Amino acid sequence: MNKSTSSKPSPGKIATQSSEDSVGYQLSATYRVLNRALQAQVARLDVPAGTWIFLRTIWEEDGLTQREVGRRVGIMEAAAGSALNKLESRGLIRRVRNADDRRKINIYLTERGRALGHELMPKADELTARMVEGFEHFEVAQLCSYLMRVRQNLRAVESSADIKNEGTENTIDS
């Protein structure tokens, strides 16, 4: 058997799977392209990078607490606070102390934030339509179902890793 037909990996080869066949690579590459396309849409409207998902969450349900917004977006409350600060400084949201529980602060859209939603959501819907162009309706539903399952599986891995790493420093530099 010559070298070109050998099934052994070359000495310098580390990856056992091509990027085209890697689900993780495909998800990551797709996210990057989607994020660039989305940022191109929102940048023209003075929406800070990385805050689109927060606005979208509040457009779906106005009046959530910072903790609820962070949970729905899938990040820690403090990181959500940083993004919400950017939106508040641009006059897109306002914070209001909860009348029933003074410890909580609810997040509401301003008129400007609401108007922005009416302008941006059709652009997001158009981007989504272009993203799944050529797909049948059932294929889009199936894709969403698969992606939700992948996310659930990864959350289980994340939870397992959190338990295993409890009390240890979890940085690459340690």
The string of pLDDT tens digits covering residues 91-122 is 999 999 999 998 999 999 999 999 999 998 99
Q: How far apart are CA 81 and CA 88, in angstroms?
A: 10
Q: What is the pLDDT of residue 168?
A: 43
Q: What is the pLDDT of residue 38?
A: 87
Answer yes or no: is pLDDT of 171 > 50.
Answer: no
Q: What is the pLDDT of residue 9?
A: 56
- Is 92:108 a contact under the CB 8 Å cutoff? no
Answer yes or no: is pLDDT of 169 > 50.
Answer: no
- Is 64:48 a contact under the CB 8 Å cutoff? no
SS (H, E, C) the chain: CCHHHCCCCCCCCCCCCCHHHCHHHHHHHHHHHHHHHHHHHHHCCCCCCCCHHHHHHHHHCCCCEHHHHHHHHCCCHHHHHHHHHHHHHCCCEEEEECCCCCCCEEEEECHHHHHHHHHHHHHHHHHHHHHCCCCCHHHHHHHHHHHHHHHHHHHHHHHHHHHHCCCCCCCCCC
Q: What is the pLDDT of residue 165?
A: 57
Task: Summarize the confidence of residues 135-146 as an average pLDDT.
Answer: 97
Mean pLDDT score across all residues of the chain: 85
Q: How far apart are CA 116 and CA 1, in angstroms?
A: 64
Answer yes or no: is pLDDT of 75 > 50.
Answer: yes
Task: Summarize the confidence of residues 148-156 as an average pLDDT.
Answer: 92
The whole-model pTM stands at 0.70
The string of pLDDT tens digits covering residues 40-67 is 887 788 787 788 899 999 999 999 999 9
